Amino acid sequence: MNTLSYGLLGLLARASRSGYELMQYIQPFWQAKHSQIYPLLAKMEQEGYVTHEVVLQSDKPDKKVYSITSKGSDKLKIWINEPTTEPVLRDEMMLKAYSLWLTDPESAVRLFSSRAQMYADKLAYYENLMQGLKERESETSYLSPASPAFGRYILLQKALDNSKNGQNWCEWVLSMLKNG
């Protein structure tokens, strides 16, 4: 059971989903490809944390829909109270920023402009998700810590903060590149 397993259990604790769906839902908060998720689900099923049933579809290919077991749910609840490991951030941009003095001003501007654009795109993406949440759920739902919507709400808020933060940082650097 690695961290990704708990992320998948956290999704399945809300609703049963196929491996393909799990891959899509977890993407924004934990990067994982289908080639990592499918074998992991099989392993988790072997160990009794999830089960699956095949759901036949007529408009799309058939799928395996996974559900969390009570053993999986217990495991998930225990994990939340265990010590939390520190976040790991690996951003090539940080290393490039460190070596910025080795490049010409035009390249530096290009580098930070495209990164500002990346943050703008992410911001729009998360704003859209947040709007969707607020349309679907009432305030009493997503503002209540006991509600599943609360977790999604605070997660999206963190993602929004982070994107704004990154965007502001890029603009700040760009302003110095233009004056300096």
Q: Which of DNA, its own copies, none sits in contact with 35, Cβ below 5 to 8 A by type?
A: DNA
Of 103, 113, 134, 135, the residue at the interface with its own copies (CB under 8 A) is 103
The answer to whether 122 and 114 are in contact (CB under 8 A) is no
* Three-state secondary-structure class, residue 18: strand
Nearer to DNA, 25 or 150 (CB): 25
Residues forming beta bridges with residue 19, ordered by sequence position: none
Q: Which stretch binds its own copies (CB under 8 A): 34-42, 51-59, 129-137, 141-149?
A: 141-149
Among 22, 108, 116, 130, binds its own copies (CB under 8 A): 108
Full DSSP string of 25-84: HHTTTS---HHHHHHHHHHHHHTTSEEEEEE--SSS--EEEEEE-HHHHHHHHHHHTSPP
70 binds, among DNA, its own copies, none (CB under 5 to 8 A by kind): none
List the one residue from 36, 77, 124, 139 that touches its own copies (CB under 8 A): 77
**Listed residue (92, 162, 157, 166) closest to 131, CA to CA:** 157
Question: By CB under 8 A, is residue 176 in contact with its own copies?
Answer: yes
Residue from the set 22, 23, 41, 111 that interacts with its own copies by CB under 8 A: 111
- The token duo for 92 is 């090539």
Q: Are β-strands 50-55 and 17-18 bridged in parallel, bridged antiparallel, or unpaired?
A: unpaired
Count of CB atoms within 10 A of residue 12's CB? 23
Which residues form the interface with its own copies (CB under 8 A)?
3, 6-7, 9-11, 13, 29-31, 73, 76-77, 79-81, 84-103, 105, 107-108, 110-111, 114-115, 118, 143-148, 150-152, 154-155, 157-158, 161-162, 165, 168-169, 172-173, 176-177, 180
